[in-house]
Structure 1
Amino acid sequence: MSQPLIDFIHNHPQLFILTGAGCSTSSGIPDYRDKHGQWKRSPPVQHRDFMTSLLARQRFWARSLIGWPLMAKARPNAVHNSLQQLEQKGYCQQLVTQNVDRLHQQAGQQQVIDLHGRSDQVRCMECDQHYDRNHIHQQMADLNPAFAGLTAAAAPDGDADLEGVDFNRFQVTDCELCGGILKPNVVFFGDNVPKQRVFDAIDQLQQADGILVIGSSLMVYSGFRFCKQAQQMGKPIVTLTRGKTRADDISSLKLDGEISDILLPTVELLPKQQY
């Protein structure tokens, strides 16, 4: 429990909550960065490489055969449940998540913007047809039985640390309608968040009393931009995560520790708002 966090929420009851990978690690989904904000492993595939290189797509989907089932089976943890409880009690103006796992929605959160998209969908980059990720996963598993039986350590967002194999042998599924490139419906590194999604989030930030960042180092600008906007609007910023964040210099309060140890008892002590 954190009395400063309780006081902050009491004084700023309509929160803009921004969440990152640290919220989902207890659900078994690895995060990208360490407590110093540095990469834990090689950076993930870049958008341009995925779109221009067949080998990049072969490597991505081969690794996905191992990594995606972990994402598909993940379930909300105590952090997701506490944030849903915070919303139920009337303290959440909007939750914006940088995660693509949809665990906030599974926990029952209503006001959610998936800033970087959702990994349970696959989109054709040519005709914009959408597919269920499990459907595409099964197609590629059927086409590539030798790859489907491989094992590797799990990596973030449905990836796996699979190396030392001939990815040229991997058969990639294309769009059933037009033969276009299929890509998870997420914003890859090097790509831009759709403008309307950003505008919608900023509109909600304008209506909020303050911003609460949970489980993010904010090293990616797509999330950090909201802290910069909050600073320009004169709204206070609180961060709750392990280690360094990009917003440390502009935060009103920094809570460095285990998220669940601080958030769960804090939310339990907050009364339901009376309107």
Structure 2
Amino acid sequence: MHPDQFPDPDAAGLEAGLAAAAELLGGRRIAVLTGAGISTDSGIPDYRGPGSTPRRPMTFDEFMGSAANRSHYWARNQYGWRHLARARPNPGHAALARLEEAGSVTGVVTQNIDRLHQAAGSLNVVDLHGRYTQVGCMRCATRIPRAVLSDLFDRLNPGFYDSISSPDDIDFAPDADAVVPRTAGFRVPDCPVCGGVLKPDVVFFGENAPRHRVLRALRMVGAADALLVVGSSLTVNSGRRFVRHAVRTAVPVVIVNHGRTRGDAAARLKVDASATDFLAGLEQRLARPQDGR
């Protein structure tokens, strides 16, 4: 398949892409899949977009296989989760929430853990990869708010963060990780209920998304008339499977992202654009027929 493409991320390319997207999506029930690119304008860097810093996230096996690895991870996460907590929804998140309220968007499947869709007012959201605000025990499934664990970390590690003078000294990532000067010696508690390993309620690399979330997301895509992918390179299968599902069910796919994605060949339309600019413009265009009624 050769999609209609608007590869020029300038004003003219955006306008042409928006016109084509509005024509294709107008009057359809739209399921939306979002990736890290929708949150960059909220100050959260993405993984693979222009200007992103190459990094190797910790895998599930590494985290579960070593207490030293867990100590290293949690020391970094103690900075990273606070960065996500300070982030606020941008106009792209807000546009999707209003499109849902207007009936154009049926729901959002997000690969992000930042909860910004909910903060913007979106109601039908599948947090495919989990949420940074919760921690779970891998043995007894006890759930603990991340803020509660943060206070415990502070008590167990007094003065540990004194070497950080400013957030500008830290390289943050969208999975609540952060690169900090030192992590050795960071003390990590066990589960207060059973003594098991505590892990963020997020999907690590090498770990599968929970089946119930995947099934809910597949139902959302299957019930829609179109799939709009925003800000995802579709590099990993957890997101790309929804594009394949849409194609199998003859649901047209529109992809909006800076640069190529691994789903481009399956798209009816591909637009190279900022997620914020595209969604704000799409909302305006999809609202026009309603304004004339």
How does the TM-score come out when normalised to structure 1? Answer: 0.93
CA contact (8 A) 1:90 1:273 kept: no
Q: Taking structure 1 as reference, are residues 132 and 122 closer, same or farther at Cα in structure 2, changes over 3 Å only?
A: same
Q: Counterpart of 2:194 in 1: which secondary structure?
A: coil
- Tell me which residue corresponds to 1:24: 39
**Any runs of at least 4 consecutive aligned residues in structure 1 with deviations exceeding 4 A, and if so which?**
none
**How many angstroms apart in 1 are the aligned matches of 2:226 and 2:286?**
17
Q: Counterpart of 1:157 in 2: which secondary structure?
A: coil
1:68: Cα distance to partner? 1.6
Identify which range, 145-154 or 118-127, moves more after superposition.
Answer: 145-154
> Does structure 1 residue 226 correspond to structure 2 residue 226?
no
CA contact (8 A) 1:141 1:148 kept: no
| Superposed CA RMSD | 1.8
Please, which of 174, 181, 188 is the counterpart of residue 190 of structure 2?
Answer: 174
Amino acid aligned to 1:179: G
Paired-residue identity, % = 42
CA contact (8 A) 2:90 2:276 kept: no
Pairs within 5 Å for 1:151-166 = 151=164, 152-163=170-181, 165=182
- Tell me which residue corresponds to 1:10: 26
Deviation digits for residues 122-154 of structure 1 (CA, Å, limit 9, x no counterpart): 001111000010110121122112322233222
CA contact (8 A) 1:62 1:147 kept: no
Q: Counterpart of 2:108 in 1: which secondary structure?
A: strand
1:53: Cα distance to partner? 0.7
Pairs within 5 Å for 1:164-243 = 165=182, 167=184, 169-243=185-259
- Tell me which residue corresponds to 1:83: 96
Deviation digits for residues 48-104 of structure 1 (CA, Å, limit 9, x no counterpart): 111111111011111112222111111111110011011111111221000011110
**How many angstroms apart in 2 are the aligned matches of 1:213 and 1:47?**
26
Q: Counterpart of 2:207 in 1: which secondary structure?
A: coil
How does the TM-score come out when normalised to structure 2? Answer: 0.87
Unaligned runs of 5+ in 1: none
Pairs within 5 Å for 1:45-194 = 45-151=58-164, 152-163=170-181, 165=182, 167=184, 169-194=185-210
**How many angstroms apart in 2 are the aligned matches of 1:7 and 1:51?**
48
Q: Taking structure 1 as reference, are residues 166 and 89 closer, same or farther at Cα in structure 2, changes over 3 Å only?
A: closer
Unaligned runs of 5+ in 2: 1-14, 165-169
Amino acid aligned to 1:210: A
Amino acid aligned to 2:176: G
**How many angstroms apart in 1 are the aligned matches of 2:93 and 2:162?**
32
